[in-house]
């Protein structure tokens, strides 16, 4: 038992993988909230836990309420409506997230997860307060959004955009290329934006859009996540000058080289890379993330 716990601790806290960290946070939050809710209902016959969770941690579409729950665009993406909700979200997140971190390093996962969740939140709130299908029946007043689906969708679409021909083996189906798998989910989400779970489907599409745009910008040499991270980095007070230019060039591949390699992966797949190109991508992943 101790060995299992040590393995979990290492993967979540010490491996450097933001994928494992995010999955761990989602699972812990789900267990804490739902175990407390079960005890409250069973022992005290009260729904206080579920009431306050829904009231203060889920994302409301109603703007006056959202203004007093301004933290919910972040908290909602770590909440889930039930066991099957979190199970499927985390499975897809794990499968696609592993591929994402393998090719782009471990430092971009958290940023894209949050960006995808915020994009999903924005499209959901915007749609419920603008489009007649929702405003006509005042749907925003009683609607809330819950789940990591928008964030997960951003990772899935980003991975498929970067590696469209990468195949993923599915039970009962066999190997499927990422581009077709993700396209299937996008079509399903689009067809559902007028259904019972319209808010959820809209948020998925928001996350999908940000995942696609992120990779397209990355391939053009603009790393949104890296640029945001630089804003919070303290500027060094001292400049260190080194004459060892060859060592610096070896340790830190140029952005142009990385962009060319990513374009090649997008066109022909990872296996088309030469040994030298794989080494450059590996060094870039370790140095930058």
List pLDDT tens digits, range 225-280.
Answer: 877 766 656 666 655 554 544 444 445 667 777 777 777 777 676 667 777 777 77
Crossing angle for the helix pair 149-162 and 109-130, to the nearest 10 degrees: 120
Query: 142 lies in a domain?
Result: yes
H/E element, 144 = strand 144-145
Weakest-pLDDT range from 9-18, 147-156, 198-207, 253-262: 9-18
* Selected residue with higher pLDDT from 50 and 12: 50
Per-residue model confidence (pLDDT) at position 6: 53
Task: With a cut of 50, say whether residue 115 has pLDDT above it.
Answer: yes
Q: Are residues 189 and 264 in the same domain?
A: no
- What is the rounded average pLDDT of the residues 30-58? 96
Long-range (24+ apart) CB contacts under 8 A made by 280-286 are 280/253, 281/103, 283/250, 283/251, 283/252, 283/253, 284/105, 284/253, 284/258, 285/103, 285/104, 285/105, 285/106, 286/105
pLDDT in the model for residue 187:
97
Average pLDDT estimate for 97-114: 94
Chain center to CA of 134: 27
Do 246 and 142 sit in the same domain of this protein?
Answer: no
**One domain for residues 99 and 158:** yes
Clarify whether residues 132 and 270 are in a common domain.
no
Measured from the Cβ of residue 275, the count of other Cβ atoms closer than 10 Å reads: 7
Residues 219, 278: one domain? no
| Mean pLDDT across the chain | 86
Q: Report if residue 168 sits inside a domain.
A: yes
H helix and E strand count, the chain: 15, 4
Q: Are residues 121 and 198 in the same domain?
A: yes
- CATH (domain of 186): 1.20.1540.10
Same domain membership, residue 264 and residue 200: no
**Does residue 85 sit in the same domain as residue 207?**
yes
Answer with the one of 224, 249, 275 that is the final residue of a domain.
224
> pLDDT tens-digit profile of 167-211?
988 888 889 999 999 999 999 999 999 999 999 999 999 999 999
Residues 73 and 135 in one domain: yes
- Give one word for 274, left, alpha or beta, with left for phi > 0 and alpha for psi -120 to 50: beta
Residue 2: per-residue pLDDT? 58
- The share of the chain scoring above pLDDT 70, in percent, equals 82
Structural domains of the chain, count: 2
**pLDDT tens, position by position, 54-101:** 999 999 999 999 999 999 999 999 999 999 999 999 999 999 999 999
pLDDT, position 249: 45
How far apart, in whole angstroms, are the C-alpha atoms of residue 185 and residue 204?
A: 9
> Cα(124)–Cα(206) distance, rounded to whole angstroms?
8
Q: What is the average per-residue pLDDT within 8-29?
A: 80
pLDDT, residue 121, reads 97
Same domain, 183 and 280: no
pLDDT at 1: 56
Q: For the residues 141-162, what does the mean pLDDT come to?
A: 96
Residue 112, pLDDT above cutoff 80: yes
| Together in a domain, 102 and 209 | yes
Nearest C-alpha neighbor of 151 from the set 98, 113, 189:
113
Domain range for residue 248? 240-287
């Amino acid at each position: 038992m101790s060995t299992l716990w040590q393995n979990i601790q290492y993967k979540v806290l010490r491996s450097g993988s933001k994928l494992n960290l995010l999955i761990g946070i989602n699972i812990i939050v789900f267990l804490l909230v739902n175990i407390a809710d079960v005890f409250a209902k069973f022992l005290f016959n009260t729904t206080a836990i579920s009431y306050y969770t829904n009231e203060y941690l889920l994302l409301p579409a109603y703007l006056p309420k959202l203004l007093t729950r301004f933290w919910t665009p972040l908290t909602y993406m770590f909440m889930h409506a039930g066991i099957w909700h979190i199970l499927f979200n985390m499975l897809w997140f794990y499968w696609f997230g592993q591929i994402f971190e393998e090719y782009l390093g471990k430092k971009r996962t958290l940023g894209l997860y949050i960006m995808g969740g915020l994009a999903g939140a924005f499209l959901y709130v915007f749609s419920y307060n603008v489009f007649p299908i929702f405003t006509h029946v005042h749907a925003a007043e009683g609607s809330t959004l819950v789940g990591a689906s928008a964030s997960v969708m951003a990772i899935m679409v980003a991975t498929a955009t970067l590696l469209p021909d990468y195949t993923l083996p599915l039970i009962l189906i066999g190997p499927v290329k990422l581009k077709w798998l993700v396209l299937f989910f996008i079509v399903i989400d689009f067809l559902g934006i007028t259904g019972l779970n319209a808010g959820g489907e809209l948020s998925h599409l928001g996350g999908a859009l940000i995942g696609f745009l992120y990779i397209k910008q990355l391939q053009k040499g603009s790393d949104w996540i890296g640029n945001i991270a630089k804003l919070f980095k303290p500027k060094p007070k001292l400049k260190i000058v080194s004459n060892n230019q060859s060592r610096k060039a070896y340790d830190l591949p140029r952005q142009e080289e990385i962009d060319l390699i990513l374009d090649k992966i997008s066109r022909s797949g990872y296996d088309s890379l030469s040994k030298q190109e794989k080494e450059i991508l590996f060094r870039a992943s370790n140095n930058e993330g």
